[in-house]
Structure 1
Amino acid sequence: MTFVYIQGLLCFAFLPSGRGQGGHHVGDAALHGCVTALSLLRTGLIPQALNPAHEHVALSGLVAKENVLFVYTFYLFYPLTNMNSCICARNFSWDYCQVNVCHNGGTCVTGIGEDPFICICTDGFAGDTCNLTETGPCSPNPCKNDGSCKIVAPTRRGDVFNEYVCKCQPGFEGAHCQTNVNDCANKPCKNGAVCRDLDGDYACQCPSPYVGKQCQLSCISLLGMEGGAIVESQISASSLHYGILGLQRWGPELARLNNQGLVNAWTSAAHDRNPWIENNMQKKMRLTGIITQGASRMGASEYVKAFKVASGFDGSAYTAYRAEGQRRDKVFIGNADNDGTKTNLFDPPIVAQYIRIIPVVCRRACTLRLELVGCELNGCSGPLGMRSRLVSDGQLSASSAFRTWGIDTFTWHPHFARLDKQGKTNAWSPANNNRSEWIQVDLEKTKRLTGIITQGAKDFGVVQFVTVFKVAYSNDGESWSAVKQENSGKDKLFQGNVDNNTHKKNLFEPPFYARYVRVVPWEWHERVTLRMELLGCDD
């Protein structure tokens, strides 16, 4: 049975095996329209696949609307395999998948390739309309664990599977990918980590302070109490002590490791029975340790001898730190004098935004200076060697270098641009204060860059620093890309320093991979003057 659709007219044409005619007519207009369509078919204007043999066609069940227009669209239901294409009227189209012709749960799809439609068959079926049962050595798939089957020979010889091969997913092997490989056999975990074999993978249980897939990264960055990257507004406490008739304020903002001066630490108020000091890291961080220190007040040593640690995500709910497998809050051993430092590691690490130190036992008063140790959650935020000199002098270059009073001895070389460098000339400063100056680091191999810490300096008492800068990167030292703002695509302007000594930390979000990194000063105070550290990892 052939369905011929003319605009405004649907004909059901029955194609008998012999000559003859039958059926009945519903109207002259309908008959004229169908006969015209069939005449066009016989003259070749409509594809002959519809009815290449029959001269007489019985018409039955005619449906007509208004007068017949001699423009037409038609489609064929049967026999489907004889169908080649459709001729559509202007401004009209037909969706071949309006009626799903795909069998056995197949999905009809149009607009792919030259065919008017294709059938996407379910497993076990094949053919143009998914009407055939799929057979062969790869049906059903003999490969286990999501292995893919590929036919390589049409016949099987004995019990050898030479007619197909299985391509296994990583972590599996065997003729049918049936064997789970011991992924821990090659000892992929580093730094004393314990390896656990998984299906097609492995997991490393890292001891603190190591992180990463293979525990290859050290999460031991100083997070900014001593350097100033943690600003005063991020530090709070339950109370503070006022000394000498209220003239001395021992506030939480002073609790910075190695802070100097007559008033150089935090001390809780004498009436505070549950003292604490807290840092808001402003986002989730991985904390792997803490360094504590006491201080001297009025000539007497004061320090925290034992303390607890609590952490949280919102500044209202806190969880006390417990060692793995323990039910009691862990009490950390603190200091034994006012000036020495004591390091305690968190194993396992703490992941939190807020970290609270709770003194338990204090000498004379709860007086504390501290530094937090850790890294970004990705574990890739360690210093890359500017301060430690792992980056050699030869790896640093610049557009120019300034000489104070024109004296070579007071040249502000690029290799002086190391974080916390001391001396009369202890930073990089270019010959000119303009936006074409730059300083460049060659890391000698491609690394993942996640951030930068900047710092200013003084030139014979004059405070100088960079307030705004850009960052560019390259893999060959010739073609450069600027770090962009994610929302606008413009070059990103990083906010720099506000004084000559405080650290300012900026993150690269997202990180980038590069061998060469270039810092371009954009705005400055007095002169362009810069000390810095790059953050990232080898991964």
Structure 2
Amino acid sequence: MAEPAKKPKRVLLEEAKKRKRESDQTRARARINIGRAYTQWCELKEAKVSKHGFCIRWFRQLSHQIHVYCSAHGEAYTATVFTTPVTDNRAYQPHGGTTDVNDCANQPCMNGGLCRDLDADYTCQCPSPYVGKQCLLRCTSLLGMEEGEIVESQISASSVHSGILGLQHWGPELARLNNRGIVNAWSSAPQDKNPWIEIDMQKKMRLTGIITQGASRMGTAEFVKVFKVASSFDSKTYTVYRADGQRKDKVFVGNTDNDGTKTNMFDPPIVAQYIRIIPVVCRKACTLRMELVGCELNVQSSTIGCTDPLGMKSRLISDTQLTASSTFRTWGIDAFTWYPHYARLDKQGKTNAWAAANNSRSEWLQLDLENPKRITGIITQGAKDFGVVQFVSAFKLAYSDDGQTWSIVKDQIRRTDKIFQGNSDNNTYKKNLFEPPFFARFVRFLPWEWHERITVRMELLGCDD
């Protein structure tokens, strides 16, 4: 049978507009009908419907009882205004009838998202890298190869090129975007016929893209020209990435020189814990620096797009904005004082962090952001005191608007104080995101467990709004 002829776009657009007009008219008629019922009931109480109308949405009643505001009493009354329960997203009609309301009629999905109408709701299928209820948020955070949030132990490879006389080690831990130095990238061994490099994200993540870069060895440009991407949840079973509807593996175009960057986006995104880059065609050698792009899988709309460093490392947060309960001095010498304003991520020097005078859970480090901000996360780091590794392995957080009255961040499931996992060595980053985030001017870091001495370097994450 011949396929039916497709309607012209103009006809489809007119039909969509007609459906929207009919939906709007249905909503308007239903609102009038329910409004009349409210008014009649209020008149029995010798009162009028207040200007605020109804205290719950008129088209989402869960039973035949409706709450009504009557201005003469200033409180909510309960009235039975029709006998047929409206248990989904339907508009009330006279004589107890209902009419389905299409929640997709107003086109709530943005940025090319496809809307699906549900009972009393809708859902959007968002194109990568957009996420969120209405596809308004971009899942495009840099995930930590360049900045070091992804640590060396998370990166592995099929082989390593040893360089001149075996003295150069082009290991996977060097595969960081814009890494500098004579040996500054990962490169597979010449005899490796199936090279790969892999990153363990340590939990399921949403990956929306990758940025790649080559390197130069002895003045010769080396880079990956073409590659594939595979992913896994358990590091045992891997799936090679394919575009939607395609039967063949997706082949990504890589770099054309040793220093320029090339960005490839994943649409659909990859959800996995392990991400493996598989070079297919290389120039001279399979040599790679890179960064991954994406976001936390369980982060809600309240944190995505609001994870900027607030100024500890950059010194946007000044020294005077940092205070502490006490300060430690190594050997009691003033020159070796571990001041609160030393608690800056990646700070260098003999004394390069805040350390408390006493190992006690009553100690704290406080940040005054000067204005309320949305706080969505924290990165912590330990330090060394003359070779002694020191760090905070668990901590709580408190926040305040005035610096006097404090609230401690709670575990959303247990409803108890949230204890965050801290560091396990002196230099590795540990990142914790807050869901939900909180708004505050003052933030206090509260050590709970530690190794050797309470010692921390840190960065707060968030945004102004």
Give the TM interval when normalised to the shorter protein.
0.5 to 0.7
Match in the other structure for 2:398: 473
Assess if the C-alpha contact under 8 Å between 1:265 and 1:368 holds in 2: yes
Q: Contact (CA 8 Å) 1:275, 1:358: kept in 2 or not?
A: yes
- Deviation readout 1:348-400 (Å, 9 max, x if unpaired): 11011211101111111000111212222123464533257999749965337
Aligned-partner Cα distance in 2 for 1:206–1:391: 37
After TM superposition, the structure 1 = structure 2 runs for residues 444-523 of structure 1, keeping only pairs within 5 Å, are 449=376, 451-455=377-381, 466-474=391-399, 476=401, 478-481=405-408, 492=419, 494-496=421-423, 498-500=425-427, 502-506=428-432, 511-516=435-440, 517-521=443-447, 523=450
Question: Does the alignment pair 1:209 with 2:124?
Answer: no
| Gap change, CA 1:457 and 1:499, over 3 Å in 2 | closer
Does residue 399 (structure 1) correspond to residue 324 (structure 2)? The answer is yes
Query: Once the 2 structures are TM-superposed, how far is the Cα of residue 485 of structure 1 from its aligned partner?
Result: 12
Q: Tell me whether 1:352 sits opposite 2:282 in the alignment.
A: no
Whichever structure has more helix as a proportion of its residues is 2
Higher-Rg structure is 1
Equivalent position amino acid for 1:327 in 2: R
What is the CA–CA distance in structure 1 between the aligned matches of 2:267 and 2:250, rounded to whole Å?
Answer: 11
Match of 1:276 among 173, 196, 211: 196
C-alpha deviation, 1:218, in angstroms: 2.6
Q: Contact (CA 8 Å) 1:418, 1:533: kept in 2 or not?
A: no
**Alpha-carbon distance in 1 for matches of 2:343, 2:101:** 50
Q: Find the aligned partners of 1:151 and 1:344 in 2 and give their Cα distance.
A: 53
Does residue 1:149 correspond to 2:64, yes or no? Answer: yes
Superposed, 1:12-411 pairs within 5 Å as 148-149=63-64, 164-166=82-84, 168-169=86-87, 171-175=89-93, 176=96, 178-380=98-300, 382=304, 384-387=307-310, 393=317, 397-399=322-324
Structure 2 CA distance, aligned partners of 1:231 and 1:164? 63
Letter in 1 for 2:86: C
Q: State the secondary structure of the residue aligned to 2:165.
A: coil
Residues 1:288 and 1:465: Cα distance change in structure 2 (over 3 Å): farther
Separation (CA, whole Å) in 1 of partners of 2:192 and 2:185: 17
1:183–1:248 distance in 2 versus 1, CA, 3 Å: same
Residues 379 and 252 of structure 1, relative CA distance in 2, 3 Å threshold: same
- Provide structure 2 residue ranges, at least 5 long, that are not aligned to the other structure: 1-58, 68-79
Report the Cα distance in structure 2 between the residues aligned to 1:311 and 1:224, rounded to whole angstroms: 18
Question: CA–CA distance in 2 between the matches of 1:437 and 1:518?
Answer: 6
**TM-score, normalisation: structure 2:** 0.66
1:167–1:177 contact (8 Å) kept in structure 2: no
Contact 2:89 2:100 in 1 (8 A): yes
Q: State whether residues 359 and 453 of structure 2, in contact with CA within 8 Å, keep that contact through their aligned partners in structure 1.
A: no
Cα offsets for 1:278-306 (capped at 9, x unmatched)? 11222221111111111111221111111
Change (3 A) 1:177 1:301: farther
**Alpha-carbon shift at residue 444 of structure 1 (Å):** 6.3
In the alignment, the residues of structure 2 paired with residue 246 and residue 465 of structure 1 have an alpha-carbon distance, to the nearest angstrom, of: 35
Distance in 1 of aligned mates of 2:97 and 2:444: 49
What is the RMSD of the two structures over their aligned residues, measured on CA atoms?
4.4
Letter of the 2:172 partner, please give it. Answer: P
Q: Cα–Cα, structure 1 residues 214 and 238, in superposed 2: closer, same or farther, change >3 Å? A: same
- Residue of structure 2 aligned with 1:532, choices 454, 459, 463: 459
Structure 2 counterpart of 1:164, one-letter code:
F
- Matched-pair contact (CA < 8 Å) for 1:485–1:492: no
| 1:245 alignment partner, SS class | helix
Fraction of identical pairs, as percent: 52
Amino acid at match of 1:330: K
Q: Which runs of 5+ in 1 are unaligned?
A: 1-143, 153-161
Whose RCO is larger (CA < 8 A, sep 6+)?
2
Q: Distance in 2 between matches of 1:227 and 1:151?
A: 55
For the structure 1 residues 399 and 191, does the alpha-carbon distance in structure 2 shift closer, same or farther, using more than 3 Å as the test? farther
Q: Does the 8 Å contact 2:242/2:250 carry over to 1?
A: yes
Q: Which residue identity does 1:437 align to in structure 2? A: W
What SS class does the counterpart of residue 530 from structure 1 fall into?
strand
* Equivalent position amino acid for 2:274 in 1: Y
TM-score by length of 1: 0.58
Distance 2:233 2:277 in 1: 15
| Counterpart residue identity of residue 279, structure 1 | I
Deviation, 1:307, is: 0.9
Distance 1:481 1:148, change over 3 A: same
SS state of the match for residue 127, structure 2? coil
CA distance in 2, matches of 1:485, 1:327: 43
Report the CA distance between 1:250 and its aligned residue.
1.4
- Tell me, what secondary structure is at the counterpart of 2:173? helix
Q: Is the 8 A contact 2:157 2:172 kept in 1?
A: yes
For residues 283 and 384 of structure 1, do their structure 2 counterparts lie closer, same or farther at Cα, with a shift above 3 Å needed? closer
Between the aligned partners of 2:87 and 2:419, the Cα distance in structure 1 is: 42
What does residue 155 of structure 1 align with? none
Q: What is the aligned residue count?
A: 377
2:423/2:429 contact within 8 Å kept: no
Structure 1 contact 302–364 (Cα < 8 Å) conserved: yes
